[in-house]
Structure 1
Amino acid sequence: MWRTLLLILFLTSLATLARAQDTTWEACHGAPGVTGPVLSDCRPIGDFVDPQGQELWIRATIPAPSDTQPRALYVAGVASSEAWLNGERLGSNGRPGASARDEIPGRYQATFPIREAAWRPDANTLVVRLSSFHGGLRFAGPMTAITVLPFPYPQRTALLAVTFVAAGALLAATFGFGVIHALRRTGSSLVLAGMAGVAALQSVVESLRPLFNYPYPLHAWRMSAIWALAAGFAILLVVYVASRFLPKARGLMIGLAVGGIGATALLPGFDNKTVWALVLGVALAIPPAAVGVRRRIPGARPVLAYLALFLAVAVGFPEWLADFSYFLLVASLVLPLLMVEVVRLGREDRGREAALTRAVSLPDRLTVASARGVELAPIAEILAVVGADDYVELRLVGGRSLLHAARLDALTTQLPANFLRVHRSVIANLAHVRRLERDGDRWRLHLSEGAPLPVSRSRQRALREALEDTPVAEAISA
């Protein structure tokens, strides 16, 4: 964790040193001319360059380079562009126009190399023509760069490599948790697989810009996907933490997460939306983790420490969260959880094998494996078996219940013939049936004690036939 934080601090300092000085731009009325653009009525741009929904001519005065290193004009944003230096045309990215019909959309990033002979020894006039009629959405900061830098521009290969490593680790975790879910049908492994998969997919989408110079109209889809994936991860994080450490409030926490994180779509700026979606998800996951620490639930302390670190990085370095640190933080959570899950399942398997070996001579009892250990439950005292997320609930005579780490399908074949599947999530012991009755448009099966059980339409006939051959204490009513 601390190594990750130190790495983020180091890269942030490098980014600050490398940040280019802002250029002062003027917005003008312009038109193409024989010897270059003809500009008039130029006025300073107070905040930022925004060509959305219009054709925009901008002008800046820049100094000549102090060395002989080649230079290029870099333009990045949701706009088509065309550029001139001292009246010499540098090139075009798409074709800017006065309307959507006149414009040909360009790429999101454009590079215009500058010939050395184009520079003047004193002041140099840079003119850029922009238009953006095909952006799809309105961006708070449509242009991310319009600046002259050394050519070729140094790529952030180290950052890209780390992102790919994190993506590979997250995909591996997705596969691992997916296998665990296929074998054990545990809800927690499915949620963790979703968290890892969503984060891996977001890392791929984040890497599209340096890898693929896409047409600028696709930028709205890319940014929307990044926000949606970040929101999905945040909601899944709350689902996982609440289910594990505060299951009674799981529904409430999920409702708060869906409502609060979904509301970030209304915030201005996609980076702002993405960061706030992640921050809200982490903030909502902290209370259940804190409850787990207070109750001394295993695993609560490291999860709470992880959430605190995530929140500290988000508050301290919001500009790095969505682009870089997010993937490292997610990998640092799901990979240890995957290893812990594999070790835990191995121990459970060995414990089950030993318990089953001891229980061979006791065919009238069911070996119940749970987080607390192994217990032998008399089959005759089982009223019903009800599916309960990662486990099944055994409802016993006397109001007791046990959670059993087994699949409902497997128990269907293990239990005696007097146990019948009456619903996709319910197996009933017909020896304890009292009556079957209609409740509106539904059917309910009443046992000797406890709450009535739901009966699905598709299983009514089989249930009635089984009840005809099973003595019950009271008449069966339709």
Structure 2
Amino acid sequence: MPAATRFSIANRRTTGCVGERSRARPRTGWWVVLLCWLTWLAATPAVAADAAPAMRQGPIQVCAADGSHCRETALWNIRPVSDELILSQQIIVDSGALPPLRPPTLWIAATASSEVRWNGVPIGSNGTPAMDRAGEVPGNYVASVAIPPALIRPGVNSLSIRMSFHHLWLPVHSPVRLVYLDPSGAGDNPQLRAYLPSLLMFGTLAAAFAYFGFAAATDRTNGAARILASVAALACIQLATETARLFVAYPYPWQLARVVAIAVLAATISVLFVAYAARRFWPARRRLMVSMAAIAALASAVLVPVFDGRALGAITAGAVAVMICAAVGAARERSGSALVALAIAGTTLVLVVTQWGELLDTSWYLLVAGTLIVLLVEQLLDFNRVRRHAARLSARLHSLESQDRPILLKDGARTHCVDPGQILSISAADDYCEVHLADGRTLLVSSTFSGLLASLPPGFPRIHRSHAVNRVHIASVARGASGRMVQLSTGKTLPVGRSFAAAVDACVGRNPQPSDMRL
């Protein structure tokens, strides 16, 4: 069976075999394990590299360009309200750390040009900061400056960073992302460690894109596969855009294009997840839910001033919409998949609240990759279930076809061509078998009892050591004076052996009608 066909079948509710009642079975075993793994990864905060006790960074102060009006603040609260500003910080150096084995490295990530001074001495620049746009040369968004060991003294050292922001083409709420002193001087970007879990998810996202993309390409009618392939592809692009600053040096104005792209991609992924959830759990309101999620994402882009906040607003709206669709699906179908969708959407909302500033760096990609893993595992389980169902149908079809195929029974010198459906019962008679037919004839076939049963198609269970019947012609099973008896459609009765009672009960419990034995 082609993969795309299997994928399409797996997205529909499978029914039982002929004569069996279909029943929904919540299948949450694998999903719960994967969801716990996903939640643990997503809820684990990224561990930043701890500064060595030999060099301790004090609080950051923001000053005007002339060094006046200084105030203590956090990095995320720095606003480019003037043409230039100066960040100052005290660095406490332990005398035992001198001289350092390698020059310590100062890492700066900011949408600004910068000039760095250590104890009042210029030690490096990133671009050229200036009072106006014409004089400024844009620096890179991520830059590092080595601190000369000769300038480092024990005790208090002063660090000052002069910044200008004249080449921003959109308002930026928080231009400074990182000011970090690496005493080891190893030269490794300190943000690499925080992004490592996300980078590990790239292979998972690429595999999900290949899987769902192949299913969509081989079955053009498979809308669910197209949605999930699009989610995986956009998540790969967003992750590559997010981590580009680790590997590519680019001028700080390009950072605006990067954060806009990340916000748009996150919002699009959220809307696609809503489209998938609505298609699966609430198809009657699919357009409404997708439209509401898209409108909420646009409203977030207009009303929220921070780029990360715009993306998180769209993610929040998408998670709420998915929860609504999954709640409707859970109420209607009581399916395990709807409950898992509720749990994933709820986890997303919890992480938006608890990891507001860090969600888009790591946890978001773990959530997307984990959700795609859950859906992929679900498909694999459905494929196995569909294959087993197809095998049962094939066996059933073979049984029905065999019932229509005449068999040859030799009675003395004559050979009879008999339809298996016309056989009522078979009884052992020494080295012969008595075959009783629906038309009233009885054939004495020169064959052993077990040998004749082996030559017949399925549907002739043994009810006694010496008797077998055609299950199609079983009318009832009742208890008589000498034990349990099977009554056939002609009124004939045969005894039931004790060791065959369970087989008779199972046969009667799912006894098909004669009309079911024909295609």
The two structures have a TM-score, normalised by structure 1, of: 0.66
Which residue, out of 84, 92, 116, partners 1:63? Answer: 92
Counterparts in 2 of 1:65 and 1:214: CA distance versus 1, 3 Å: farther
Equivalent residues in 2 for 1:70-81 (5 A)?
70-81=103-114
Which residue, out of 206, 210, 220, partners 1:175? Answer: 210
| Matched-pair contact (CA < 8 Å) for 2:107–2:181 | yes
Which residue, out of 298, 319, 338, partners 1:300? Answer: 338
Q: Which letter maps to 1:198?
A: L
Q: What are the Cα deviations for residues 103-131 of structure 1, in whole angstroms up to 9, with x where unaligned? A: 11111112111112212445433332211
Counterparts in 2 of 1:10 and 1:25: CA distance versus 1, 3 Å: same
Counterparts in 2 of 1:262 and 1:94: CA distance versus 1, 3 Å: same
Runs of 4+ in 1 over 6 A off after TM superposition: 16-20, 349-353
Structure 2 CA distance for aligned equivalents of residues 230 and 115 of structure 1? 42
Name the structure 2 match of 1:228: 264
Q: Which letter maps to 1:330?
A: V
RCO (CA 8 Å, sep 6+): is it higher in 1 or 2?
A: 2
Q: What are the Cα deviations for residues 400-453 of structure 1, in whole angstroms up to 9, with x where unaligned? A: xxxxxxxxxxxxxxxxxxxxxxxxxxxxxxxxxxxxxxxxxxxxxxxxxxxxxx
In the TM superposition, what is the alpha-carbon distance from 1:156 to its structure 2 partner?
A: 4.9
Name the structure 1 match of 2:122: 89
Name the structure 2 match of 1:249: 285
Structure 1 CA distance for aligned equivalents of residues 62 and 294 of structure 2? 44
Which residue, out of 301, 321, 329, partners 1:284? Answer: 321
| Matched-pair contact (CA < 8 Å) for 1:52–1:132 | no
Counterparts in 2 of 1:7 and 1:242: CA distance versus 1, 3 Å: closer
Structure 2 CA distance for aligned equivalents of residues 330 and 26 of structure 1? 38
Name the structure 1 match of 2:361: 323
| Matched-pair contact (CA < 8 Å) for 1:51–1:132 | yes
- Bigger CA drift: 116-125 or 126-135? 116-125
Equivalent residues in 2 for 1:11-90 (5 A)?
11-12=45-46, 14-15=47-48, 23-30=59-66, 42-45=68-71, 47=73, 48-51=77-80, 54-66=83-95, 67-68=97-98, 69=100, 70-90=103-123
Structure 1 CA distance for aligned equivalents of residues 301 and 147 of structure 2? 41
Pairs aligned (count): 350
2:200 paired with 1:165? yes
Structure 2 CA distance for aligned equivalents of residues 312 and 58 of structure 1? 34
Q: CA RMSD in A?
A: 3.1
Structure 1 CA distance for aligned equivalents of residues 119 and 373 of structure 2? 56
Name the structure 2 match of 1:260: 296
Equivalent residues in 2 for 1:374-385 (5 A)?
none
Secondary structure (helix, strand or coil) at the match of 1:219 reads helix
Q: What are the Cα deviations for residues 249-282 of structure 1, in whole angstroms up to 9, with x where unaligned? A: 1111111101001211120212222222212111
In the TM superposition, what is the alpha-carbon distance from 1:305 to its structure 2 partner?
A: 2.1
Structure 2 CA distance for aligned equivalents of residues 330 and 98 of structure 1? 44
Counterparts in 2 of 1:51 and 1:301: CA distance versus 1, 3 Å: closer
In the TM superposition, what is the alpha-carbon distance from 1:78 to its structure 2 partner?
A: 0.3
| Percent of aligned positions that are identical | 30
Equivalent residues in 2 for 1:55-454 (5 A)?
55-66=84-95, 67-68=97-98, 69=100, 70-150=103-183, 151-152=185-186, 155-184=190-219, 185-266=221-302, 267-296=304-333, 298=335, 299-344=337-382
| Matched-pair contact (CA < 8 Å) for 1:52–1:142 | no
Name the structure 2 match of 1:439: none
| Matched-pair contact (CA < 8 Å) for 1:173–1:335 | yes
Q: Report the structure number with the largest CA radius of gyration.
A: 2
Structure 1 CA distance for aligned equivalents of residues 164 and 366 of structure 2? 37
Q: Which letter maps to 1:182?
A: A
